[in-house]
Structure 1
Amino acid sequence: MSEFKQKVALVTGAGTGIGRATALGLAARGAKVVITGRRPEPLEQTAAGHENIVALVADVADPDDAARSVAKAVESFGRLDILVNNAGAGALLPLADVTAERIEMILAVNVVGPSLLAREALVHLSRTRGSIINVSSTFGHKAGAGLSHYAASKAALEHLTRCWALELAPQGIRVNSVAAGPTESAALTDMMGLSPQQAALVEEAEREQIPLKRRGVPDDIARWILHLADPASDWVTGQVIAVDGGLGLA
């Protein structure tokens, strides 16, 4: 399969989970891929999965790293066709426990970071008539107790998707989003800060709530990111595709 041959992609948060599955899927289909994340070891493990993947340690929450990440892709492969804003941050954060610092951290990764990356990528994506795919969440459009600021940040990312789609259409740049449901990964312990025991309870509760009665796996989400990035989807823009086993309906 070579539908992405001669295409270059930048995937954030690609050390594990959805980002890793996306990077490996793109590379297997012919793309050259630059992956970023904060921890070198997981990035190296992803890069070891395919010769077309190059890793860069970078933090989406650091404004200076946006330009550095895009430059790495262009310097490595001469162009940029696809930006996947996958890196995310969140917390189980009841209103009574909110602090300015914790809100700022969530927004820095989920809203500010993707915005700065898109800005830096703009000149290159306009040359290639490229594509931006933002990774949102079911909770970008479904309320969840204790998830208010995470959910609000994902709602913002979904609306950025729609606004950018209109703004960038004259340049031939498509912008879409995949709203991922609960997916098997270390997100509950790493991102949400739960203990393994707490995470197990949440996972079981999610399985019961999801109409299809299972949590997703990274490839469930990556498959749709690849569909939206595929040149065959060149008449699709401004869409938020829910891939969540029906959780958004529950």
Structure 2
Amino acid sequence: MTQEHTWQGTVAIVTGGSSGIGKATALALAEHGAKVLITGRSEEKLQEVSALKKTIEPFQADSADPETGERLVAEATSQWGRLDLVVNNAGAGQPLPIDAYEADVIASMSAVNIIAPSQLVKAARPALRETRGAIVNIGTAVSRNAAPMLAHYAATKAALEHLTRSWAIELAGDGIRVNAVAPGPVKSGALTGMMGLPEVIARQIEAQETDQIPLGRRGLPSDIVPWILQLGSPENAWLTGQILTIDGGWSLRT
């Protein structure tokens, strides 16, 4: 079965779909015939992505808003009448040494990385039950080892992985599969975007990480997207509760 046949006529929600892995995932799904609702905080970036494919619709939203999940599902189902896939890709993180711990910063990361996916899964359950759909969560290989300065980012993503396994059991009776990918260092703009690092420091970190990757290079969104589609595909109807680390061997060395 080709990917075009697999996704033709299906409907997906991709959070954080205006850049990086989320953007690449949305474009791939649309290329294979799916209708995709993407979220992000920048209306300009959302419009740029939606202009690339007629079947991608933008939805400006802040994932930290607890009402976003219900609004997304309502938008997707009202436009297209169904929902087959949810990709919880939106993430929040920043370098945070212990002396700089602030409750609001930690709470913000938790809101995006834990609460937002939880609320979206809750809202999407009835629609996904009807299609026997799937959920793919995006974690991080950073959580595989100690993460000085990134402890709360890694911890909240590790929590998402635990939720993945728990949801897989809770939703199995509905025929809904739940899996996750945990990317390693990927050229996605996250260091200067989500992490808010200056360009010079971001380039230094990229060079350091590249030296640590056994396969000799940083990843690309195109290294991750095929696995997101595979985990979300109805072809893999007996696969659930799995977390796939895709990092060029990076987590084996760090």
Fold in common (TM above 0.5)? yes
Q: Does residue 1:100 correspond to 2:103, yes or no? A: yes
3-state DSSP class of the match of 2:7? coil
Give structure 2 stretches of 5+ with no counterpart. none
Structure 1 residue aligned with 2:39: 36
Q: Is 1:74–2:74 an aligned residue pair?
A: no
Aligned residue pairs total 250
Rounded to whole Å, the distance in 2 between the matches of 1:189 and 1:20 is 17
Give the drift of 1:115: 0.3
Structure-1 separation of matches of 2:235 and 2:48: 30
Corresponding residue of 1:18: 21
- Determine whether 1:90 maps to 2:93: yes
- Secondary structure at the counterpart of residue 6 of structure 2: coil
Percent identity over paired residues: 50
Find the residue that maps to 2:202 and give its secondary structure. Answer: helix
SS in 2 for 1:3: helix
Residue 9 (structure 1) shift = 0.2
In the other structure, the counterpart of 1:214 is 217
SS in 2 for 1:168: helix
Q: Distance in 1 between matches of 2:178 and 2:97?
A: 32
Tell me if the contact between 1:140 and 1:158 (Cα under 8 Å) persists in the aligned partners. Answer: no
Q: Tell me by how many angstroms 1:140 deviates.
A: 2.5
Q: Does 1:161 align with 2:164?
A: yes
Partners of 2:236 and 2:171 in 1: CA distance: 16
Q: What TM-score comes out, normalization by structure 1 length?
A: 0.98
Query: 1:142 deviation in Å?
Result: 2.1
Q: Which AA in structure 2 matches 1:109?
A: V
Give CA-to-partner distance per residue, 1:176-221, whole Å, 9 cap, x none. 0000111112211111121000000000001001111111111111
Q: Point out 4+ residue stretches in structure 1 off by more than 6 angstroms.
A: none
Q: 1:244 aligns with which of 216, 234, 247?
A: 247
- 1:125 to 2:128 alignment: yes
Superposed displacement of residue 13, structure 1? 0.2
Return the alpha-carbon distance in structure 2 between the equivalents of residues 77 and 159 of structure 1: 31
Looking at structure 2, the residues matched to 142 and 165 of structure 1 have their Cα atoms a distance apart, in angstroms, of 24
Q: Which residue of 1 aligns with 2:174?
A: 171
TM-superposed deviation, 1:226: 0.6
